[in-house]
Each structure stands twice: as C-alpha cells, then as structure tokens.
Chains A and B, each alone.
Chain A
C-alpha cells in the first residue's frame, strides 16, 4: 500500500537533531525529503562536529559522537556518524552553495516544484541566505515553510545559540530532573526538547498540509523549540500557575506511587519498579515470597510506605541486588506488578520483545556497510512504513535532483560540479 505522504516533496535545511528528526518522520510516511546541503559549509553538529576529524579526535569522543565504524573517520567521515546516520533513513541529499546567485537560482527552482521547506537554524541564518517566506510564496503560492528556532523568530532571543539541553534549562526541565540530594551539576545532558521539536514539527507540517488541501493556501509555521516542549511539563507548569510552587526534582519517584530504580546482579545492572497502590503491594509481596521485611509496621499502608520511601527503597534494593534484572522483571510482571529491566544499548538489540516486533531493520550504505537501524516508532497496518533507504550520504542524489527533477543538461550539471556546488565531499577549506 502507498504511504500517506507520497507525492509530498520536502526541502530539508535542518541541522543537529531536532529538525532532522522532523524530516525523518515525514520521510517515514512517504514524503520525498531532500536534504539541501552545501559542500562549502559544514553544518553544526549534524554530520559530525567538524568535517575531517583526526583519528585521535574520533577516538577521544563518547560513542554517539565518535563511534563511527571501527572508530575510523576514513575518507568521508560525514557519512559515517552515528550522530547523523541514526536519523538519516529514507531521505535524499543534494548539494548547492546558497551564498552564490546561481546556487540561489537552483534553490528557487526546487522551491517551485516542492511543497514544504523546513529549517531549524538561528533566525539570522535564513536572513543571511536571503530566504524569506514571502519570497518563497511568490515562487510557489501554496508553499509551506516550517521554521523551528530555539526560542522564537522575534524578540531578544531570536539569535540565541543553543542545543536542546540549553532549551530544557530555560523551560525548567533541567531543575525537574536529577538527584534530589545532589546539585544539578551531577547529571547527564539530555535532549528531550529535540525529540519534542522533531515530532511536533512533523505534526505541524501535517496540519499545514491538511489546511492546504482544504483551502489551497500555504503558510508559514513557526515552532519555538522551547514553547513546544514546555507543555510536556504540564503538571509542574500548572502547579506553578495554580499554587505558585516551583517544583524541584523528585529523582525517580512518582507523585502517588512507590517507585524506584534498584540494583541487580552484576555491574551496573538495574530494574525500575512502580507499585501504584495497595493491591500492587500485595502482588509485589506475593512475587517476592512474602518476605519478613515486607511485614514491618512502617510498611503497613500505601500512605505509610510513601512516608518511609527511603527505607522501602533500601529493602527492595536488598531484595533485587542478588537477582538478574530480567528475572526480576519477568517475575514481577508475571504477578501483575509494573517492572522493567533498564536496558543498555546491547540489551535493546537482544530484547525478545523488540525482536518480535521487528524494531530494528537492516539497511545498507556505501560508507558504513550493512547494519541494523531503529525503524519508525509506530506501526501501521496498511501503510508500508519501513526503512526504504539507508542513511543518506552527502550529495547522494545530486543527479536525481539536478537532472531528473530540475531537468538540467549534462553540460549544465558539469559546470555546477566544477563551480563547487555539486559534489559528494566537502571542499578542502571546510573545517
């Protein structure tokens, strides 16, 4: 069965994670997503942190930004990054230098035959490139443009530089997570705002496409990554507006249940357990073989157990410590108690449930070979959502875009190659 977005062409000028995740999801549903890249400029934290990292640099970086196959940058490191390849399925890539008039001309011709442009750069980047929605609409009246600035395209924050982690700090998420007994410095950087912006932006594009089908009208959509992620903190948000309270982190605890992450057999092995109510506690005790420690007076009611949560955590931890995390999970779940093994990256690839649901699909790309990649995070009974193309390499679809879509002659194409617009490698001067 055909995919719902077949026939929708998306120009993709996104960087880092938030924007690219948006176009990944649109591509999963069948949109033709064309990454508009340049061999004259290296996009920030997108196909890696610099164009040609040394072997030593690659060796020194943490896995997700240094873990290219064999820790070897090889000839084209920009095609080998886990940072990028993780989300680059089902897309196409063309290269063009938008800072030169003939590049801009190519860009405009592509606008004329596309439906959507998506970007998530600092506001001034589009201005510098001379790209504005008003002009795009003149070229293509039904055109849709999605802009995804960190904070907004107006006001004093419009050019503020940030990654997802900084956005989370601004909307209050960073202070809502972490250990209650340690300072917020004692934590890891997370990128929840990127995930939120990616899927939020993809949903926004569908809204605009539906509106266009109804009215024929295109439009400019602005998704502030901060404002888009803030509703995810709805309970803390409403607690402030209702009660004037700025919540602080409660670690792994739950507002009404008993909950924690407990050590298991082996090194750095953990299980997460949530006991919602009295009935769950009975089931938990039954699964644990009704141990004596569970009969303590302090643990008699759900309320008293919540009051003595520290004590309870240490007792549950004593019980889980000598047990395998998957055994604890299965045992508790077989008694109807919510529990889950904390799965590292290897565990995920070996998990029988993810395997049974084919969460990983094989894909091939010339500079990394054949590997398993996570598929779209949803299943559809009729649309054939799957990885149709492996992670796109730089300029992989130049021929298709220039010759098939824009109908350039071989001669014109070759001229743009020599002029440094078309290529599959970054120019020598690019860092």
Chain B
C-alpha cells in the first residue's frame, strides 16, 4: 500500500456534528490516526441527523455521520468523570493535535483546556472550533449556519432585492470552517514537529465567513475603498463580465448558467453558429452590450437555441466555443455523470451496520501518497478497548473502567 501523507500524525478528536468532524475527517482520510472521543450512550450528535436509509433513524446509519467520520476510531469517555478526564489527559500526552468544538470554556471545566494539556504535552497543537471564537463579546452566544453566514458572510447580498436574503445550500458554511481548521491545524503541527512547541488555534465559524473569498472580502474592500454597500443584485449583473448573456436561463430539461457578455460575447455568437443577424462588428462594441434592443434581438436567437438543447448538450456545444458556462445539475445528474464516475470522484464504502453506499470521494488526488478509505465510520465506542490497550492498560483495568461508567 502506498504511504499516506499524514501517517506520522495522531489526533485526539473531541468534535461533534459537522464542522469539527469534517476537519478531522480530512486529516484521517489522508492518513492521520484520529481517535474520536464520544459521549457514552448517545455519542456524536450527528448520529441522530439524517439522511437515514429509508428515513428510518438509527445511530449507526446517519448519512451525515457516516460521511464525516470515515477512517476514525471511536472511543467512549465520560468527560464529566475524573477517570474519563484522566484517560483523556493520558491520550492527549501521546498525540500531535487535539481538536475540539465544545462551547468556549467547557474543556477548561473538564480540566482539558489548552493550558492543562500543553502542560502534559508542550508540543501539542490544540484547535478549538466555536461559533464566535474563544474571546470577544459574542463568545458565549449560540449560532447556526445561517447565523454565521448572516453575521460574518455575504448573506446580505445573496438573493433578490424584493425578498429576504437567502442562504447557501445545506450546511456549506460549516464545512468551510472544518477545512479551515484542518489547514490551520496541520500548519501548526508542521511548525511544532520542526521546533517542538505547540500552540492554541482559535477558529470562529463567523470569522471563516468574514475572511472568505466567496465575495465577502472583495465586497468588504469595496466598502473600505469607497463606502459602497453591495446589495442583492440579479444574477447577470454580478457576473464580472457585464452585459449579456449572464445568469441562469431555461433549457430543454432544466436550467443552464452562462457568463457570456462583454469580451466573451464573440464566443457566445460562435456557440450559436454565428447567426447572420448577429454577425456585424457592432455587436462586439461595449455600446451593444448596453443596448436593450440589441439584447432583445440577441435573446430571440439565444432562448430558442437553449430551449432546443438539454443542459448537457448545451454545455458541450458551448464549451467547444470556450464559453464560461455549466448546467444546473441535480444530485442525480452529478452522481451519474460518466466523467466524474470515470475519474473516481465517488467512493463505495461498506459499513457493518448501515451497509454499502456511495460516498463523496477524495477532495484532491496525491500521486505519491493518495487518499484512501481504510475503514468506514466507527460504531459508537468500537475502538475503546483497542485504544486503551495501546495506552498500556490491561483487560481488567479496561473492565473496571467500563463497570464504573467512565467508558
């Protein structure tokens, strides 16, 4: 088997639900040994989140949990007991990184805060993910994905002017925070492996939005430079190219998106087979792109052209003319796409309780140290004995911890 990129890294994972687990999944999927600490009995809250096969809830069948916890080992520890805390400290002394996503202050109450753990392990990288960060007036506030996007990101400018702003799909913002945490954690681990000193990383889910390249930073700078507020503007007008066509348009079997105005107009004309009426030089002038009558004439060709074609046909024909564009796919369209299937973008994973399903595959391909699924998401507490035995405990010690409810 090819070596894995992070095979020299061990992580103790106290995260729950989505953002934190996606962070540690990335580390685990590229080879880190991630020990996931779960609450005895119920485990990670994501175990109760859907989707479930046939919509029947089951703690070992949550699609959210199964996706986010591949390649990890699960142990149960009751962090409210002294013994549970002691075991966590012993584990923390043997890892490169701790990642946690409790409310700020909670790990301190368990005696597992950065100060306590860095004492037993000075080289430790300790990453905290939280709603608003470990300091500041909102530190203890509650949040949700739409709240982080609204307070930190570009919710304000997303949607149409006549209606309320509308968020991104699913829980995209939580995943963004997870990857940012994985990046910062691995960066700090590289630093600590070089000089032996650890540190505390503070990830605020709100700030990940404020520092995001998805429009927020550029729109913040536009305000800084000129005091201009960016409001909710229609599709085409924010495309960057200006003019037409720009935005989402109907096609034979759904919708098609295209950025073809301004300097790209010639490509669009070419895509439609250079209709005679659109062939004059005047069509390439900036004035043409601002002329409503000319736009009307253009659309008289453009709409029927698209409505005659499926989104996939339109995509391949438009790309032959190098037009910036793409179909609005459903999940079915994406998952059945021969190109992505052929590239190995999806992964079949077999799980002892949930069964075999197709999962999202590797986010990137490494020639020399490839991503791989070595094990499916763990059953709750599946590796408790294995991990404690590695710590040097005997079977009887493990048994007595179990009977005391610490594990």
Contact = CB atoms under 8 A, between A and B. Distances in A.
Nearest to B127: A378
Contacts of B197: 1, 382
Interface string B198-238: 11111110111011111111111111111111111111011
A238 B67 contact: yes
Contacts of B51: 235, 238-239, 242-243, 245
A289 B378 CA distance: 45
Interface stretch (A92-100, A196-204, A297-305): A196-204
A270 B206 CA distance: 17
Given A86-B221, A262-B164, A373-B221, A219 B132 contact: no
Contact of B257 (A169, A172, A179): A169
A201 B365 CA distance: 11
B235 A179 contact: no
A174 B249 CA distance: 13
Main secondary structure of the interface of B (DSSP, over half): mixed
Given A163-B259, A261-B165, A357-B207, A199 B183 contact: yes
Contacts of A242: 51-53, 63, 357
Contacts of A374: 210-211, 216-217, 220
Given A161-B323, A176-B169, A341-B150, A336 B186 contact: no
B86 interface: no
A239 B50 contact: yes
Interface stretch (A109-117, A183-191, A406-414): A183-191
A3 B151 CA distance: 30
Interface string B82-114: 000000000000000000000000000000001
A174 B136 contact: no
A171 B329 contact: yes
Interface string B29-46: 010000000000000000
Given A64-B215, A241-B357, A236 B170 contact: yes
Given A207-B186, A343-B156, A251 B166 contact: yes
Contact of B328 (A156, A169, A262, A359): A169
B183 A339 contact: no
Contacts of A63: 219, 222-223, 226, 228-230
Contacts of A257: 144
A179 B162 CA distance: 12
Contacts of B310: none
B150 A185 contact: no
B220 A349 contact: yes
Contacts of B30: 207
13 contacts: A45-B240, A163-B240, A172-B330, A185-B248, A188-B235, A195-B213, A207-B369, A235-B50, A241-B63, A343-B151, A353-B132, A377-B211, A383-B191
Interface residues of B, number: 162
Given A175-B328, A353-B137, A381-B199, A151 B221 contact: no
Contacts of B179: 196, 199-200, 203
A345 B147 contact: no
A27 to B, nearest CB: 12
B213 A163 contact: no
Interface string B160-189: 100111111111100110011111101111
Interface string A247-262: 1010110111101111
Contact of A227 (B148, B180, B224, B362): B362
Interface stretch (B275-283, B300-308, B337-345, B390-398): B337-345
B232 A233 contact: no
Contacts of A231: 22, 67, 175, 360, 363
Contact of A378 (B146, B158, B201, B231): B201
A343 B171 CA distance: 19
Given A166-B326, A187-B248, A191-B214, 7 more contacts: A82-B222, A188-B157, A234-B67, A236-B331, A333-B138, A345-B229, A378-B201
Nearest to B175: A232
A85 interface: yes
Which of A167, A189, A240 has the largest count of B CB atoms less than 10 A from its CB?
A189
Nearest to A341: B151
B270 interface: no
A260 B360 CA distance: 29
A336 B328 CA distance: 39
B257 A233 contact: no
Contacts of B195: 2
Interface stretch (B5-13, B379-387, B399-407): B5-13
A29 B201 CA distance: 12
B143 A82 contact: no
A318 to B, nearest CB: 14
A82 B169 contact: no
A380 B231 CA distance: 34
